[in-house]
């Protein structure tokens, strides 16, 4: 019994998600008497039955059920490849059903780059077990040994050609056996699909404009809703005149005012939009407590009360530095960043009054936790709440998806029997999404100039949590905090939210101190791609470069010297090869950075090339290269696509982005005020994948974020001699 609990806790640590009210299923007995090495992989531990993951359909097809949602990471294709491989099917013969309560396994959140490690590995083992079971069922029928049989699409076949169909073997049932270790996995040398760049089928549906997104759902009689949010976090409703609104705007069916939560439902979308515009102009709110603006944000973070955790501590810092030792210290800062989904959050909800049942269609990353949260928010039985995952616009973490689902559910209750579609506005998303936390860092180190080695390293950081997912409780849903009987989130101080992710260097230093301060900053925050790793790696790898420069060391060799893991060294050497022969003109520079994401997931080394205009300080990024090792790769092009996107997105974060506020609230409320990279600014990116087919697959979707930031800062330094330690790297920081 203690074993699964421990593993669950470790899982929480590495994903940075909070799971409240989690119940272990029957897997506990299975694990209790199994030797540790034979632990079931991925999410199988919680759902060990084959049919939880896999259904065999007539005509030689199969359906895979994943508790993860498609968010553009290509999970559908990856799990189809894995299942097709073990079942000897063409990839096209595998359908994929994504996260839906009551239908797919409960895999909590699609987060932490863990879809392959958790879901695809569960599906691989379930499919292998299914193949074995089908052979065992066929053996007596064909009067042959299992070893004389093989599974082909739709049938088990003997070498003589005699066959029995899967349909016949199953007689309409599904395989409900539990997967046991060791699962009869196909030898990797026989792989046909895994490790190949199988194209994603869904891209063709997208270019044909077939209905695909939650935004595209249409139901008979569906109505349209909008919400009116206060001008700032703590403003409260003073006056909203529903009658005046109805007189001014046609088509308004219902208005909902509960405390300071205000929603409007209209027959048509344009009417809902006009009602929202009218409401924004004519609704009165209290001013609320002002946001703190008297101190610069880095200073503010350092001054807030918080909890301290010593993340790592070894070696002796009490002695004064050795004579001749080089010492250095520097402070860094990373601002609040937006997820910035291109499609603002959207949800559809239907309330059935008779059954007291709620249906929600959502692009949330966690349908099961959302079900629990909504049930508590609306006082419904959780099995009366049905939540179906439908792809939305890319989210890169916890954006407004869960919040808009709660808004829609609250409004659906007011127009029972009708599907309510709630589309957040751009302003709703920009001003109310939970941002990636601001962070401040102080680093110090000593270098022995004779050996070129770092002897002492200290990293201290201040940050808000990086995860406030609803996780089954209602109070982290935005609307809950504004109801007449508000539910307010408790302050978290348990460091489970990714604050010190990658604060500990992957390099070997004799003396090391890493200390994290968990504080509560002024803005609403939650998980943004890479969580604390983005800021920590930016600081760590910028500082590494500063030390290399100080000790007059080659940046590649300096890093290699402090690494012991050959796979880490291999990505650095590979990216060095990729940029060999690059000509560096005046005002241009190359910058390197490396990290192993979470220190347990994918390895990634990045080199950026920049040019800095000496007159204006304007930074151009013509190219970025990356080498990545994510262990066994299911779909190399999928991994490349994710990494390319990570490089460009992180470059935009690093050079352009910063959520701004004044005392009255958020001021970056449109793209013009929060300018992400456009086509004229984006680099051309190139990714090399180091495939390790015999190693376990490693989460990779977030691996490029941190290294990209530091590679850019380092490149800017080499281009113009200016070290920018406060993101974003804006032109004004490079002139004068």
Partner 1 sequence: MEADLTLLVNGQQHILRLDPETPLLYVLRNNLGLNGPKFGCGLQQCGACMVLLDHIAWPSCQLPVRQTTGGVAITTLEGLTRPDGTLHPVQAAFVQEQAAQCGFCLNGMIISAVSLLKQYPQPSEEAIRNGLFRVLCRCSVHTRAIRAVQRAAASG
* Residue 336 to residue 439: CA distance in whole angstroms: 8
In sequence order, the 6+-apart residues with CB closer than 8 A to the CB of 603 are: 565, 567, 568, 570, 571, 594, 595, 596, 597, 628, 629, 630, 690, 703
Site membership for partner 1, residue 677 (CB under 8 A): yes
Distance CA 367, CA 195 (A): 30
**Where are any strands of DSSP class E within 645-710?**
661-662, 665-666, 684-689
Q: Which does residue 663 bind out of partner 1, ligand FES, none, counting CB within 5 to 8 angstroms by kind?
A: none
Quote the least distance from Cβ 423 to ligand FES, whole Å: 11
* Paired strand residues for 351: 358
| Sign of the CA dihedral running 298, 300, 301, 303 | positive
- Picked from ligand FES, partner 1, none, the partner binding residue 672 (CB below 5 to 8 A depending on kind) is partner 1
* Residue 705 touches partner 1, criterion: CB under 8 A: no
Name which of 427 and 475 has its Cβ closer to partner 1.
427
Closer CB to partner 1, residue 191 or residue 213?
A: 213
649 binds partner 1, rule: CB under 8 A: yes
Q: How many CB atoms lie within 10 A of CB 468?
A: 20
Q: Does 488 bind partner 1 (CB under 8 A)?
A: no
Half-sphere exposure in the Cβ direction for 56 (13 Å, CA): 31
State yes or no: residue 684 binds partner 1 (CB under 8 A).
yes
Decide: is 618 part of the binding site for partner 1 (CB under 8 A): no
Near partner 1 by CB under 8 A: residue from 207, 281, 355, 488 = 207
Residue 548 has phi, psi (to 5 degrees) of: -60, -40
How buried is residue 638: exposed, middle or buried, by Cβ count under 10 Å (0-12/13-18/19+)?
buried
Among ligand FES, partner 1, none, the one that 596 touches (CB under a kind-dependent 5 to 8 A) is none
**Element spanning 333, H or E:** strand 326-334
> Cβ closer to ligand FES: 45 or 705?
705
Query: In whole angstroms, how close is the CB of 625 to ligand FES at the nearest point?
Result: 21
Output the smallest distance, CB 363 to ligand FES, in A: 12
Closer of 47 and 77 to partner 1 (Cβ): 77
How far from 650 is each of 292, 540, 550, 701, CA to CA, in Å?
Answer: 28, 16, 27, 12
Strands (E), 508-658: 511-519, 588-596, 603-612, 619-629
Nearer to ligand FES, 433 or 629 (CB): 433
* Least spacing, CB of residue 682 vs ligand FES, in Å: 12
Q: Which residues form the interface with ligand FES (CB under 6 A)?
A: 72, 342, 394
Whole-angstrom distance, CA of residue 366 vs CA of residue 373: 11
Interaction between residue 656 and partner 1 (CB under 8 A): no
Quote the CA–CA distance of 17 and 68 in Å, as a whole number.
14
Shortest gap between Cβ of 595 and partner 1 (angstroms)? 19
Question: Which residues, 6+ apart, have CB-to-CB distance to 481 below 8 Å?
Answer: 475, 487, 488, 489
Size of the site for partner 1 (CB under 8 A): 62
The interface partner of residue 219, options being ligand FES, partner 1, none and the CB cut-off 5 to 8 Å by kind, is none
Q: Name the residue nearer to ligand FES (CB basis): 206 or 293.
A: 206
452 makes contact, choosing from partner 1, ligand FES, none, with CB < 5 to 8 Å by partner type, with none
Residues 270-329 that bind partner 1 (CB under 8 A): 270, 273
Q: Least Å distance between CB 276 and ligand FES?
A: 15
Q: Give the pairing type, strands 453-463 and 511-519.
A: parallel
Q: Which residue matches tokens 């309409």? A: 172
Nearer to partner 1, 496 or 668 (CB): 668
Residue 270 interface partner, choices ligand FES, partner 1, none, CB cut-off 5-8 Å depending on type: partner 1
**Inter-axis angle of helices 705-720 and 636-656, to 10 degrees?**
50
699 touches partner 1 (CB under 8 A): no
The residues in 370-409 that bind partner 1, with binding defined as CB under 8 A, are 391-394, 396
Closest CA to 420 of 609, 244, 672, 217: 217
Q: Output the smallest distance, CB 70 to partner 1, in A.
A: 8
350 binds partner 1 (CB under 8 A): no
Q: Which of residues 242-271 bind partner 1 (CB under 8 A)?
A: 250, 268-270
Tokens 């193949």, residue?
131
43, 47, 215, 458: which one binds partner 1 (CB under 8 A):
215
Q: Does residue 434 belong to the site contacting partner 1 (CB under 8 A)?
A: no
At its nearest, how many Å lie between ligand FES and the CB of residue 341? Answer: 8
3-state secondary structure labels for all residues of 154-223: CEEEECCCCEEEHHHHHCCCCCCCECCCCCCCCCHHHCCCCCCCCCCCHHHHHHCCCCCCHHHCCCCCCE
| Nearest-angstrom CA–CA distance, 275 and 251 | 9
The CB-of-271 to partner 1 minimum distance in angstroms stands at 8
Would you say 73 or 513 has its CB closer to ligand FES? Answer: 73
Report CA-CA distances (Å) from 403 to 385, 387, 430, 468. Answer: 16, 14, 13, 12
Could you tell me the smallest distance in angstroms from the CB atom of residue 705 to partner 1?
11
> Residue of minimal CB distance from ligand FES?
394
- Could you give phi then psi for residue 262, rounded to 5 degrees? -125, 125
Residue 582 contacts residue 609 (beta carbons within 8 Å): yes
Q: Is 55 in the site for partner 1 (CB under 8 A)?
A: no
* Interaction between residue 682 and partner 1 (CB under 8 A): yes
Distance CA 78, CA 634 (A): 6
Q: Is 200 in the site for partner 1 (CB under 8 A)?
A: yes
By C-beta, is 72 or 292 nearer to partner 1?
72
Q: In the complex, what is the shortest distance from the CB of residue 394 to ligand FES, in angstroms, rounded to a whole number?
A: 4
Q: How far apart are CB 70 and ligand FES at their closest, in Å?
A: 12
Rounded Cα gap, residues 64 and 86, in angstroms: 12
State the nearest-atom distance from the C-beta of 666 to partner 1, in Å. Answer: 16
Q: Which of 23, 209, 323, 488 binds partner 1 (CB under 8 A)?
A: 209
| Smallest separation, CB 529 to ligand FES (Å) | 13
* Interaction of residue 204 with partner 1, rule CB under 8 A: yes
Binding to partner 1 in span 96-135, by CB under 8 A: none
Which 8-state DSSP code applies to residue 116? I
CB of 401 to ligand FES, least distance (A): 14
Beta strands at 61-65 and 54-57: parallel, antiparallel or unpaired: antiparallel
From 43, 66, 104, 423, residue interacting with partner 1 (rule: CB under 8 A): 423
Which one of the spans 400-408, 438-446, 458-466, 640-648 is the region binding partner 1 (CB under 8 A)? Answer: 640-648
Q: Site residues for partner 1, window 216-245 (CB under 8 A)?
A: 216, 218
Residue 74 touching partner 1 (CB under 8 A): yes
- 102 interface partner picked from partner 1, ligand FES, none, CB below 5 to 8 A per type: none
Closest CA to 174 of 57, 317, 334: 57
User: Do the beta carbons of residue 591 and residue 559 sit within 8 Å?
Assistant: no
Q: Rule CB under 8 A: is residue 72 a binding residue for partner 1?
A: yes
Of how many residues is the chain composed? 736
Q: What is the DSSP letter of 354?
A: T
Name the minimum Å distance from CB 72 to ligand FES.
Answer: 5
Measured in whole angstroms, the distance separating CA 528 from the mean position of its chain's CA atoms is: 6
Question: Six-digit token pair at 196?
Answer: 């190949």
Q: Return residues touching partner 1 (CB under 8 A).
A: 71-74, 199-200, 202-204, 206-213, 215-216, 218, 250, 268-270, 273, 339-344, 391-394, 396, 423, 425-426, 637, 641-642, 644-649, 652, 670-672, 676-680, 682-686
């Amino acid at each position: 019994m203690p074993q699964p609990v421990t593993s669950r806790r470790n899982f929480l640590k590495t994903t940075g998600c909070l799971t409240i009210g989690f119940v272990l299923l029957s897997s506990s007995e299975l694990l209790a008497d199994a030797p540790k090495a034979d632990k079931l992989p991925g999410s199988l531990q919680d759902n060990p039955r084959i049919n939880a993951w896999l259904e065999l359909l007539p005509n030689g097809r199969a359906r895979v059920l994943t508790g993860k949602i498609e968010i553009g990471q290509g999970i559908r294709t990856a799990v189809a490849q894995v299942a097709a491989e073990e079942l000897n099917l063409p990839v096209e013969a595998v359908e994929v059903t994504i996260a839906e309560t009551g239908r797919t396994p409960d895999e909590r959140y699609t987060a932490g780059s863990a879809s392959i490690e958790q879901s695809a590995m569960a599906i691989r083992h379930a499919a292998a077990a299914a193949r074995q079971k089908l052979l065992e069922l066929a053996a007596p029928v064909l009067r042959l040994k299992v070893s004389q049989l093989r599974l082909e699409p739709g049938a088990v076949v003997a070498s003589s050609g005699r066959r029995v169909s899967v349909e016949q073997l199953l007689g309409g049932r599904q395989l409900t056996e539990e997967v046991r270790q060791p699962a009869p996995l196909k030898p990797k040398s026989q792989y046909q699909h895994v490790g190949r760049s199988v194209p994603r089928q869904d891209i063709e549906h997208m270019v044909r404009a077939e209905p695909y997104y939650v935004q595209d759902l249409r139901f008979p009689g569906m109505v349209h809703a909008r919400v009116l949010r206060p001008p700032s976090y703590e403003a409260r409703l003073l006056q909203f005149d529903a009658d005046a609104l109805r007189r001014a705007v046609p088509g308004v069916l219902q208005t909902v005012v509960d405390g300071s939560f205000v929603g409007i439902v209209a027959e048509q979308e344009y009417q809902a939009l006009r009602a929202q515009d009218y409401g924004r102009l004519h609704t009165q709110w209290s001013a609320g407590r002002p946001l703190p603006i008297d101190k610069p944000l880095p200073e503010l973070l350092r001054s807030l009360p918080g909890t301290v955790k010593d993340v790592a501590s070894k070696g002796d810092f009490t002695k004064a530095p050795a004579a001749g030792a080089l010492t250095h210290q520097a402070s860094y800062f990373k601002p609040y960043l937006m997820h910035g989904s291109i499609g603002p959050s959207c949800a559809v909800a239907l309330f059935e009054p008779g059954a007291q049942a709620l249906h929600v269609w959502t692009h949330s990353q966690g349908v099961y936790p959302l079900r629990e949260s909504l049930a508590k928010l609306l006082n419904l039985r959780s099995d009366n709440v049905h939540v179906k995952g439908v792809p939305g616009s890319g989210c890169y973490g916890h954006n407004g998806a869960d919040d808009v689902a709660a808004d829609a559910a609250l409004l659906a209750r007011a127009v029972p029997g009708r599907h309510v579609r709630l589309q957040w506005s751009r302003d709703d998303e920009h001003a109310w999404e939970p941002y990636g936390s601001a962070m401040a860092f102080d680093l110090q180190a000593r270098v022995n100039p004779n050996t070129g080695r770092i002897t002492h390293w200290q990293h201290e950081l201040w940050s808000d949590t990086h995860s406030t997912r609803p996780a089954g409780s209602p109070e982290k849903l935005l609307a809950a905090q504004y109801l007449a009987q508000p539910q307010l989130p408790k302050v978290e101080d348990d460091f489970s939210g990714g604050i010190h992710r990658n604060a500990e260097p992957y390099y070997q230093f004799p003396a090391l101190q890493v200390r994290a301060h968990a504080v509560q900053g002024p803005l609403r925050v939650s998980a943004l791609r890479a969580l604390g790793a983005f800021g920590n790696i930016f600081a760590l790898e910028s500082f590494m470069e500063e030390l290399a420069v100080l000790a007059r060391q080659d940046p590649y060799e300096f890093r290699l010297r402090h690494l012991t893991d050959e796979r880490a060294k291999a990505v650095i050497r590979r990216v060095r090869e990729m940029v060999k022969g690059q000509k560096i003109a005046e005002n241009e520079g190359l910058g390197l950075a490396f990290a192993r994401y979470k220190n347990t997931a994918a390895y990634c080394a990045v080199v950026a090339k920049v040019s800095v205009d000496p007159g204006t300080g304007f930074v151009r990024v013509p190219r970025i290269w990356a080498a990545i090792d994510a262990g066994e790769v299911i779909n190399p092009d999928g991994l490349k696509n994710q990494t390319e996107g990570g490089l460009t997105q992180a470059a935009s974060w690093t050079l352009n982005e910063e959520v701004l506020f004044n005392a009255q609230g958020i001021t970056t409320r449109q793209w013009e005020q929060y300018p992400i990279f456009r086509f004229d600014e984006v680099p051309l990116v190139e990714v090399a994948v180091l495939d390790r087919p015999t190693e376990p697959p490693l989460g990779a979707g977030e691996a490029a974020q941190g290294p990209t930031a530091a590679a850019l800062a380092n490149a800017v330094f080499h281009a113009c001699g200016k070290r920018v330690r406060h993101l974003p790297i804006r032109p004004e920081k490079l002139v004068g």
